[in-house]
Chain A
Amino acid sequence: AQSVTQLGSHVSVSEGALVLLRCNYSSSVPPYLFWYVQYPNQGLQLLLKYTTGATLVKGINGFEAEFKKSETSFHLTKPSAHMSDAAEYFCAVSANTGGFKTIFGAGTRLFVKA
């Protein structure tokens, strides 16, 4: 079975500061990992994904995440926050266990202060 834990339901950063959103997962088989972003009253949009290969993955809007198997983590980072990054972010894990099922974390709301 898979599970996802996002540490911190709310994160606040100043504009220009580093963004770090934490995600830890549990999976009994090799996982596929995703970060999605949701703006108010909208659907989710894929930011980036890890399937196989390079463990540092780059996504849209300057975000990147690193898959660390030993730490079972997939933290999302961005070097410099912008006001437009304010949104809710969801980490998700999927695995082929005789069929794919995706488990979403509870989400982290990012606030960006001017």
Chain B
Amino acid sequence: DGGITQSPKYLFRKEGQNVTLSCEQNLNHDAMYWYRQDPGQGLRLIYYSQIVNDFQKGDIAEGYSVSREKKESFPLTVTSAQKNPTAFYLCASSTPGTSRNEQFFGPGTRLTVL
């Protein structure tokens, strides 16, 4: 079955640590996205990538980094510079032109800072 997988489902981080969240898709989508979700704040865009080896900052990129070395993979690193990283992180993908940017979402990773 085609879809998006995110791992791990739950992640705990100590202060000062970098952690990497995995996102993989087998939908052959060109574009991939990372969102952060906090209670009552909806989805906020962290980074997005429209093609391999290219990505752009979203609205809240500070303290995060990404790479897009393969079409199917778009990992997100939460660095120690992110002061309040506890949140639910969602990865999504789309084929913007033909689908009008209908996005397909993974199940999410809940990150908690200890």
Chain A residues engaging chain B, CB cutoff 8 angstroms = 9, 32, 34, 36, 41-46, 49, 51, 90, 92, 94, 96, 99-102, 104-107
A and B contact pairs by CB, cutoff 8 A, 22 listed: A9-B40, A32-B100, A34-B102, A36-B105, A41-B110, A42-B108, A43-B90, A43-B105, A43-B106, A43-B107, A44-B103, A46-B102, A46-B104, A49-B102, A51-B100, A92-B103, A99-B50, A100-B94, A100-B100, A100-B101, A106-B41, A107-B40
Q: Does B16 contact A (CB under 8 A)?
A: no
What distance in Å separates the Cβ of B4 from its nearest Cβ neighbour in chain A?
8
CA–CA, A94 and B42, complex, Å: 16
CA–CA, A9 and B41, complex, Å: 10
Since A100-B96, A102-B94 are in contact, a sample of 17 more A-B pairs with Cβ atoms closer than 8 Å, ordered by chain A residue number, is: A32-B100, A34-B102, A41-B88, A41-B110, A42-B108, A43-B4, A43-B6, A43-B92, A43-B105, A44-B105, A49-B100, A90-B43, A100-B100, A104-B42, A104-B43, A105-B42, A106-B42
Chain B residues engaging chain A, CB cutoff 8 angstroms = 4, 6, 40-43, 50, 88, 90, 92, 94, 96-97, 100-108, 110
> From DSSP, what is the main secondary structure of chain A's interface residues?
strand
What distance in Å separates the Cβ of A89 from its nearest Cβ neighbour in chain B?
11
CA–CA, A43 and B104, complex, Å: 9
- A99 lies within 8 A of B96 (CB): yes
Most buried by A among B50, B94, B96, B100: B100
| Residue of B whose beta carbon sits closest to that of A33 | B100
What distance in Å separates the Cβ of B81 from its nearest Cβ neighbour in chain A?
25
* A34 CB contacts on chain B under 8 angstroms: 102
CA–CA, A79 and B25, complex, Å: 35
